[in-house]
Structure 1
Amino acid sequence: MNPKSRIPRWIAVTTGLLFCSMAFLYTYATYAQGPGGRRGIRVIGQPFVGIVTSQGVPKDLFHIESTGVTTEPARVATETFLDGLTTTQRERTVFPVDDTEWRQWDNRHRSPRQGVGFNEMTEAQRTLAFEMLQQSLSAKGLKKTQDIMKLNGTLGELAKKPQEYNEWLYWITIMGEPSETEPWGWQLDGHHVVINYFVLGDQVVMSPVFMGSEPIEAKQGKFKGTIVMQDEQDKGLNLIQLLNEDQRSEAIIMNRKDGNNNLTEAYKDNVVLDYAGIVGSKLDNSQKEALLQLIQEYVGNLREGHAEVRMSEVKEHLDETYFAWIGGTTDQSVYYYRVHSPVILIEFDHQRRVAPIHTSKPTRDHIHTVVRTPNGNDYGKDVLRQHYHTHPHSHPHTH
């Protein structure tokens, strides 16, 4: 026997127990403290900065102001939803408005999550939850949200894993108490659809928003005929095809797409991301209009009046808006594109297949999109910061 292998038994036992204890603590830290595991805990524990360029944050981008568009329907519907919960459900659904719960969303199919799940709601509670979404989103935004939830059910059918993927594995949390004057908001969190909706007075900040699906169409099963993300896909392709050869050479970062390219999904609140691609000031009028139509496709998930307010903000910075592309430019291509300005960031990505089988190449049947408000106003945080500056009495928690 090798002399080096003669380890005293007490050392071996102690080492084994220590290893098991460390493994248990690792597992506990990973799963007991949020769906993001250690990755999520580490990132959420960092101070919020937002998506910024290496040049830093421009000053005075966002302001507290009256938009003239009422938020009362969303507020009343949220209050009614909360009134429909049991005391226990409400206790685990309502968080302080500045809670880190905002940042714990995860577009993957991880669970459990915070809040109250559609899977545990009664039919009456689900009706109230969808009424809250309806009064906050446009008709198109609500339908898209519900269709993504349905397609998650289709994925469960295809993968034969309904316990991992189904239309009711989505959770709602409410931040703050719905109010006419104080800040509040809600979050929908689940696989392939996440919406963060912040309200202050008649201002709304709806970001980050994650929408996607795998598959993008139900060709069989309970939700046969449901299809999503085609306008986002086609309007991006239309814009790149409108560019001339010189413009494309600026816009296209890489002609080949091999993997997943989205940069600002879950737990990526503080990414440093410089502008890339072609800038809006180099587009002609028809190309600028196509760019606006592309942005409108995403912003239009927000209720109409608030979407108009958001688009007016986008238009102010249109000449500073960059459009970048990775991949092919044909009707059969897979690709990634990014729209990036001081006030909005949009990413679209054809992803590798994950379920029911894994593939090494991206496919048109798995799409991810993200909408962010860069420079510190995701989750309405810059507006909330300004509110606390002028209303310190309404700041019960460390922000």
Structure 2
Amino acid sequence: MASQATHDAQHESFRQYLPDLNTPRFQAIAENDAYGHAQELLEHHRPPWLYGLYVHWRKLFKEPFKGVTSDGTVQPNLFQLRDEGVPISAITANANAIISQLSPEQTTRTLLHIDSPEWRSWSNPEFLVSDKGIRLDEITPSLRESVFTLLKTTLSPEGYEKARAAMRINHFLGELVNAPKVMNEHSYNFVLFGVPATDRPWGFSFYGHHLCLSVFLYKTQIVVSPWFTGAEPNIIDDGPFKGTRILHEEERLGLELMQSLGPEDKHRATVYELMKDPKMPRGRWNHDDQRHLCGAYRDNRVVPYEGIIVGTLLSAQQDLVRGILFQYLLYLPPRSRELKIQDCVGRFGETYFSWIGGSGDADPFYYRIQSPVVLVEFDHHSGVFLNNAEPAKFHIHTLLRTPNAGDYGFALRNQIGPAVEQAYVWEE
């Protein structure tokens, strides 16, 4: 196992990969705000590889929602309506406090129909390719604080702190590369779907660079899925938030699990030995998602099971899987998290753990845990703003999907019935 000192040395090493800010790329981003930066992509097609990916995203967006599956067929009856103890009255009151402060123009941009396809138009890059709702760095401090209050009431205390840490690390990156108008603590958009209520379905989206949360609420039940959380670097080593660090537990537990496997199991779990392996089929790696399969706009992706079955592992190894899932379900309030972990554990016999890369203490890696009711991915990335050409442990992407139409609460909404929803939507 890697020592704490080893981990610290790995994470501090990002300083040797700071970019040259005198290059045209960084001079351009320093001069632009978020809208000018997006214009570079959407109108001038720079960078070309990301514009190509964006065009592909928009094609995917036109597909009707089906959900992530393992074989193209949605398994029915996996998710039930239930009491998860969510403080829906307080959450609803906080959402209404936001609404009360919106201008007419903000209202039009921010309050969307519960059936709006814009639920699905979130993305992780810093380019503002889906400009909707209110943007936290453009609104009054009072309205911004109301959005934070809603997040704090909705998420678990530790989940809220993780989200705020991701935002602060994004600000830190903006300072490192002289792009504070594009990447800062408040460069995130907020949108409401449906009408906030204690007895009707509704939700919200909160998204920006390295933090995207899709939240569905119905009575005392919550779905936070899909979500994306990343960091480059994943630690702040200077300034008022020095010591802030995220995603290291997901990294530690995943590596501990892989290192605990015997040779046979380790071989079965390893899908590819190299992070960009020549054996990968075309499309298995792309410039933005790299090894991720279920990132932005991949709502209908077919992801076949790979690796080893968690139910065949030793009890201590299954405990490590529980620990990983606990971290990935951290955004949920405690009772909801507990119930969803029970759902996951109940399907360990059909849960797969797969791995890409090496498993030495210093090796970058990717892993996925996938079952009918959850899919989580972890990936060490090469540099986007830092200039490390190879994946490094200080640039991490993580995400969670709920397969079989569980994302965005769709599987639950199908049980609520259209009469309830249609009776309670924003008037056009």
How high is the TM-score relative to the length of structure 1? 0.87
Q: Which residue of 1 aligns with 2:179?
A: 161
- Aligned residue identity for 1:102: W
Go from structure 1 to structure 2 and tell me whether the alpha carbon gap of 1:395 and 1:37 turns closer, same or farther (over 3 Å shift): farther
Q: Does 1:40 align with 2:57?
A: yes
Q: 1:297 offset after TM fit, Å?
A: 0.8
Q: Which residue of 2 aligns with 1:13?
A: none
Q: 1:128 offset after TM fit, Å?
A: 1.1
Report the Cα distance in structure 1 between the residues aligned to 2:91 and 2:425, rounded to whole angstroms. Answer: 24
- Aligned residue identity for 1:281: G
Mean Cα deviation higher: 332-341 or 111-120: 111-120
- Aligned residue identity for 2:368: R
Q: CA deviation digits over 1:221-249, x for unaligned, max 9?
A: 45432211111111111111121122111
Go from structure 1 to structure 2 and tell me whether the alpha carbon gap of 1:55 and 1:93 turns closer, same or farther (over 3 Å shift): closer
Q: Which residue of 2 aligns with 1:365?
A: 394
Q: Does 1:241 align with 2:259?
A: yes
User: Which of 167, 175, 195 pairs up with 1:177?
Assistant: 195
Q: 1:191 offset after TM fit, Å?
A: 0.3
1:157–1:221 CA contact under 8 A, matched in 2? no
Q: CA deviation digits over 1:118-169, x for unaligned, max 9?
A: 1012221121111101111111111111111111111111111222221111
Report the Cα distance in structure 2 between the residues aligned to 1:362 and 1:160, rounded to whole angstroms. Answer: 23
Which residues in structure 2 correspond to 1:142-157 (within 5 Å)? 142-157=160-175
Q: Which residue of 2 aligns with 1:50?
A: 67
Which residues in structure 2 correspond to 1:80-91 (within 5 Å)? 80-91=97-108
Which residues in structure 2 correspond to 1:1-399 (within 5 Å)? 37-54=54-71, 56-111=73-128, 113-221=131-239, 223-258=241-276, 260-357=290-387, 359-389=388-418, 391=420, 393-394=422-423
Q: Which residue of 2 aligns with 1:16?
A: none
2:61–2:121 CA contact under 8 A, matched in 1? yes
RMSD over aligned CA atoms reads 2.4
- Aligned residue identity for 2:113: P
Report the Cα distance in structure 2 between the residues aligned to 1:128 and 1:301, rounded to whole angstroms. Answer: 19
Task: State the SS of the aligned residue for 2:114.
Answer: coil
Mean Cα deviation higher: 311-320 or 361-370: 311-320
2:375–2:400 CA contact under 8 A, matched in 1? yes
2:76–2:404 CA contact under 8 A, matched in 1? no
Report the Cα distance in structure 2 between the residues aligned to 1:29 and 1:179, rounded to whole angstroms. Answer: 43
Identical residues among aligned pairs (%): 31
Report the Cα distance in structure 1 between the residues aligned to 2:406 and 2:132, rounded to whole angstroms. Answer: 23
Q: CA deviation digits over 1:182-229, x for unaligned, max 9?
A: 110011010000000001122211100100111111223454322111
Q: Which residue of 2 aligns with 1:5?
A: none
1:154–1:222 CA contact under 8 A, matched in 2? no
Report the Cα distance in structure 1 between the residues aligned to 2:119 and 2:81, rounded to whole angstroms. Answer: 20
- Aligned residue identity for 1:230: H
Q: CA deviation digits over 1:49-101, x for unaligned, max 9?
A: 11111262222112233345442222222122222333322221111111111
Report the Cα distance in structure 1 between the residues aligned to 2:114 and 2:71, rounded to whole angstroms. Answer: 29
Q: CA deviation digits over 1:315-361, x for unaligned, max 9?
A: 2212211110111112211000000000000000001101043x431
Report the Cα distance in structure 2 between the residues aligned to 1:392 and 1:184, rounded to whole angstroms. Answer: 9
2:190–2:204 CA contact under 8 A, matched in 1? yes
Mean Cα deviation higher: 154-163 or 186-195: 154-163
Mean Cα deviation higher: 366-375 or 257-266: 257-266
Q: 1:40 offset after TM fit, Å?
A: 3.2
Q: CA deviation digits over 1:97-120, x for unaligned, max 9?
A: 111111000111111621101101
1:388–1:395 CA contact under 8 A, matched in 2? no
Go from structure 1 to structure 2 and tell me whether the alpha carbon gap of 1:177 and 1:254 turns closer, same or farther (over 3 Å shift): same
Task: State the SS of the aligned residue for 1:263.
Answer: coil
Mean Cα deviation higher: 213-222 or 277-286: 213-222
1:84–1:128 CA contact under 8 A, matched in 2? no
- Aligned residue identity for 2:356: I
Go from structure 1 to structure 2 and tell me whether the alpha carbon gap of 1:216 and 1:27 turns closer, same or farther (over 3 Å shift): closer
Q: 1:262 offset after TM fit, Å?
A: 0.6
Q: 1:28 offset after TM fit, Å?
A: 6.6
Number of residue-to-residue matches in the alignment? 369
Tell me, which stretches of 5 or more residues in structure 2 are unaligned? Answer: 1-38, 277-284
- Aligned residue identity for 2:407: D
Q: 1:38 offset after TM fit, Å?
A: 3.0
- Aligned residue identity for 2:140: T
2:106–2:133 CA contact under 8 A, matched in 1? yes
- Aligned residue identity for 2:136: F
Task: State the SS of the aligned residue for 1:362.
Answer: coil
How high is the TM-score relative to the length of structure 2? 0.81
Report the Cα distance in structure 1 between the residues aligned to 2:67 and 2:234, rounded to whole angstroms. Answer: 30
Tell me, which stretches of 5 or more residues in structure 1 are unaligned? Answer: 1-23
